[in-house]
Structures are given as C-alpha cells and as structure tokens.
Structure 1
Amino acid sequence: MTAKIRLGCSRENINCNEIARVVEEAGAAALTVHGRTAADMFRGNADWERISEIKSHLRNIPLIGNGDLDSAEKVVAAFDQYDVDAVMIARACLGRPWLFAQAAAALRGEPIPPEPTLPEQRDVMLKHYQLVVDRFGDEKGTVLMRKYACCYAQGKHGARYFRTHVAKVSTPEEFHSVVEEYFPLHDPKRESQDAESVSSAAGS
C-alpha cells in the first residue's frame, strides 16, 4: 500500500515532513507528495523544493513527486533538479495519454515524439472510450467518458461545441455521433504556421 499527501493544510500549516515519517512508520511502501497545500487546490505552482526536502525525512521508502508535470521536459527536470525516486503524472495526462511515451523517450535520451495529429488524437480517444465501455458497460462507460472526452478537446479550436454536446451523451451511438460531428479536427493556428513555413521555404 502507498500513500499520497499534500504539503499540508495551508501555507501556514505545512507538516509534510512529519506526515512523511508517520506514513513510513505505518508501513507504506512508498509516498507520493503533491507540491501544493490543500488550501492551494490547484492555484499557483507546485513547490518541488518542498517535495525534495521530504527525502531526508524518509528512511527506506521511495519518494514520488507530483505536480505540474505537463511535458516531457518537466519530467526530466524533476529528476535532474530534485531529490525524488519517481514522479507521478496526473491531470496533465487526462486527454493526453501520449505524454507517458514522450516522457519515457526523454528519460532515455531519445527524441521526444511529436504531439499526435488531431485525427490521431481522436482515434486514441475512441480507443480509450472502448476500453471504458468494455470495463463498465455501455451506459455507465459512456457517462464516465464524458469528462475524459472533454479533456481530449481542451484548448482546441471548436472545443466548446464538442464539450457542450458530449456532456449530454448516454449511449455509444450518441457518443460516436457527437465525436463524428463535433470533435475538433482542424487547428487554424497550426495550419497557418505550416502555410507560412511552406511559403518561407518556397521563397528562399
């Protein structure tokens, strides 16, 4: 069994070092620490310096750092700059499960795979959906997938329309229909940048 904690209840009541010792003495196999307090919720930046300090208060169990790991580069930096045995990617992987492959490549010193194209991201989401439905059944699986489908569309052109409709689905037919009609498959900003790159190359 492992445990996960925050730095404390608030910035005025940070007690993670003491709690870490209690967790280890209670028999936990590992400790994960998120670098914010409960009062912070998800505001501000995760305090990795505080996470790193906890290592000296543990005798034998691994320390796993968590917070703001939304890129492969940040995962590598966490290992390079802080005293942690492992890291946990949390919110950042919702709608971006390829982040694990990107981080693994970076840690091996290999080129980081590019972000999938929007059609490829849609295909990953549909595979994710099928796995959820296989596990929980059509109705419950579809309802559970609403949240994650919204994550896949986050930050994309037209995401609001997709979220509005996918939040109401309750059957596989409805889910696939909404994905087919509303999932963002075009990124005007990226397409404009690509066009400019082609134009610049042609003019050189």
Structure 2
Amino acid sequence: EGIRRVVEGVSNIPVIGNGDVTTPQAAKRMIERTGCQGISAGRGAFYNPWIFLHTQDYLQTGVLPPEPSFEERIRVMRRHYDLMVEVFGEKRGSLQFRKVAPWYSKRFGPVKPFNTAVVRISSREDFDRVLSEYLEWRKDFTDGSGELLPRYQLPPMVASFMQEEEEHQARQRKAIAVPKGPVEVW
C-alpha cells in the first residue's frame, strides 16, 4: 500500500520496492500491486541466492524455474565460505560465516545439529568437519537417491505478505465449501 502511494506520488522518479521479497512470485506480485520499477531482495537473497536469476526468468517467461538441488545449495554455500576466507582470512572469515550459514540451511530440511555446530566454527577445519558430520547425519532423512523423505520435505517458500493476504481472504469467507456427497468418507 505504502509503496504504491509513493509510486503514484513521484511518477518521474523510479521507485524500488522492498520488504519480504523472498521468492520470484513475491517480486512479481510487488511489481504488479505497487507499480514499482524494481525490487530489492535483502534477507531472501541469503537463503536463496538464486532469487535474482529465478525472478528474471519468471518475469520474462511466466515459468518458475526449479528449486536448486540440495547439492547445488551445498556447493554455493561452500563457495561463499571460501570467498569469505579469501577476503577476510581464515579466522575472521569463519567468524563472519557463522552469521550466513543458518540462512543457507533454511532450505536443507532437518538442520538442528548443523545450525548448532556451524555457529561455533573458527577455522576451515571446523567448517569441513561440521559439514561432513551434517551430510552424514542427514542421510537418515533421505531416500536412496539422496532426496528428503516426504515427511521431511519443505513446503514451498511463500512471502509473509502473501500468506497474510490468503489468511485475510479465508477469514472473509461467509461459508466453508463442503464437497457434495457422503461426509463419512472424510
């Protein structure tokens, strides 16, 4: 609402929408609802660094690209760690990465032991050990191909403002849709 009013008030200045842009769908909805000329993805980029490319594809084609595989998420997280060590040195890079790793793990499935341990790393050896132990532990939650078992699979990411809209619409309904036929089958 506020972004739309700003867009209407400053027609000669490009407005960048910001706030809970965590998925390509959220980016599209923000652009459509507010008329902003661009979006800013903050924390959504931490656990979904693919958001930029996926949003571009989604806006251009209307087709949502597939989620990155677990292996791809691990590869990118490792690369991020390597770059932080390269820029800041092993000790400081490891300490800085403690803040970043839990964002990556939001899409890993069960992660409690990883999150508990990774926020204590202070060296590459620590990082490699924590990741190796986690990858071994995670196998208990996967099938033979490495995919999470159905009961551990994560629901799709949905921006909170999109959830709130759906919940509001549900509260506005006057009746609950009930299928025709015998109720006993429920």
The answer to whether TM tops 0.5 is: yes
Q: 1:129 to 1:86 in 2, by over 3 A?
A: same
Query: Gaps spanning 5+ residues in structure 1: where?
Result: 1-48, 194-204
Out of 116, 127, 131, the residue aligned to residue 68 of structure 2 is 116
The within-5 A match list for 1:14-163 is: 49-58=1-10, 60-109=12-61, 111-154=63-106, 156-163=108-115
Determine the structure 1 residue equivalent to 2:150.
Answer: 192
Structure 2 runs not aligned, ≥5 long: 152-186
Give aligned pairs, total: 145
- Tell me: higher relative CO, structure 1 or 2? Use CA pairs within 8 A at least 6 residues apart: 2
Kept in 2, the 8 Å contact 1:64–1:86? The answer is: yes
Cα root mean square deviation, aligned: 2.2
| CA displacement at 1:72 relative to structure 2 | 0.9
In 2: Cα distance, 1:85 partner to 1:149 partner: 31
Is the Cα–Cα contact under 8 Å of residues 146 and 169 in structure 1 kept in the other structure? yes
- Give, as a single letter, the amino acid of the residue that structure 1 aligns with 2:89: G
The residue correspondences of 1:151-190 to structure 2 (distance < 5 A) are 151-154=103-106, 156-183=108-135, 188=142, 190=148
Report the secondary structure of 2:149's partner residue.
Answer: helix
**Counterpart of 2:170?**
none
Task: Note if contact 1:119-1:185 (Cα within 8 Å) is conserved in structure 2.
Answer: no
Between the aligned partners of 2:12 and 2:118, the Cα distance in structure 1 is 46
**AA partner of residue 157 (structure 1):** G
Give the structure 1 partner of residue 180 of structure 2.
none
CA drift at 1:156: 3.8
Cα 1:155–1:118 change in 2 (3 A) is closer
Identify which range, 166-175 or 79-88, moves more after superposition. 79-88
Q: What percentage of aligned pairs have identical amino acids?
A: 29
* Higher helix content, 1 or 2: 2
The farther-off stretch of 53-62 and 82-91 is 53-62
TM-score, length-normalised on structure 1?
0.64
3-state SS, counterpart of residue 52 of structure 2: helix
The answer to whether the Cα contact below 8 Å between 1:64 and 1:88 also exists between their aligned partners in 2 is yes
**Structure with greater strand percent:** 1
User: d(CA) in 2 for partners of 1:88 and 1:157?
Assistant: 26
TM-superposed CA distance for 1:132, in Å, is: 1.4
CA apart distance, 1:144: 0.7
